[in-house]
Amino acid sequence: MEHRRLGTSGLMISRVIFGNWLTHGETISEPAATACVRAALDAGIDTFDTADVYAKGAAETLLGEALRGTPRSSLTIASKVCLPVGSGPNDRGLSRKHIMESCHGSLRRLGTDYIDLYQAHRFDENTPLEETFQAFDDLIRQGKILYVGVSEWTAKQLEAGLAASDGLRSRIVSNQPQYNMLWRVPEPEVVPACASAGIGQIVFQPLAQGVLSGKYRPGEAAPVDSRAAAGGRAPTFIRRVLGAELLERVQQLRPIADAAGISMAQLAVAWTLQRPTVSAAIIGASRPQQVTENAAAAGVRLGDDLMARVDQVLGDLIDRDPTKTARMMAVEPSWAAGTS
């Protein structure tokens, strides 16, 4: 497994990161979750991403249990704070109160003394940035977190965050956006802002909820073991990306994967890892075999001709509208028309 520095920080992370959104505590059993984590470790993945809000905290608990017995110094654990974790007015956002309480809760559930990368899950319009980054800075001074990142912030929000954290230890080192062959929303504004500031991208949904793996075929029912057929919230999220036109176009990517000698899932992950400022890609999985397959994409290098062919195939289905940053669950992607 290849490793890379996270932006211009000194933190080394595995090029493929294992994440447990929509899986641990929701759609797969605890033994299955543990098996996936073990497969990740076997594949050389040592960086794990979760959040306080995933499965109402159960995702952090399951991850902590699955990693029990693995030397803590050999792991990089990332979690997040901001999204609502309760009904109270202070159970959300990036206030000092919520950041401190959420961090302590995450540490307890993960069973660790510190979090390597603590991320602001979204931007909080109601809290002064100075308060937010001072709280992060205090946690760093206390040894409870080591680095600070954000997720789904716009270019202007990133710039404001950098200004607010100037001179503090809590300077932003990473951004976690949704990013894949189809969803290129970060490219016009966020990617250049991150490149200028030395912020690394840890991207999620490189497979577009599994659609880019090619397992969903137009006119056919979703495979019984797929996320679209699973329980919990997963089908709600994936419903947006199962339009017939999209599925037909995705099948046209198969010859590109064949030319590279890899699976379609590996093509999607490898494509993402070759994009500018991308330090790592987060993969989720419900089966150990998926982890092993996707982890292998870290060693794949796609030629310029294959990268260009991806754009030619997907063409007008590619979404690059920067105004959709942080709104991917609230808007229909331009390529999702006709979803069921």
Catalytic (active-site) positions: 54
Euclidean distance between CA atoms 214 and 247, whole angstroms: 8
Tokens representing 239 are 């419903």
Residues 92/85, Cβ–Cβ less than 8 Å:
yes
Which residue, 176, 182, 324, 158, is CA-closest to 245?
182
- Any residues with CB less than 8 A from the CB of 30 and at least 6 apart, and which? 62, 65
Euclidean distance between CA atoms 49 and 163, whole angstroms: 26
Residue 14's H or E segment, with its range, is strand 12-14
Euclidean distance between CA atoms 334 and 183, whole angstroms: 9
List beta partners, residue 172: 148
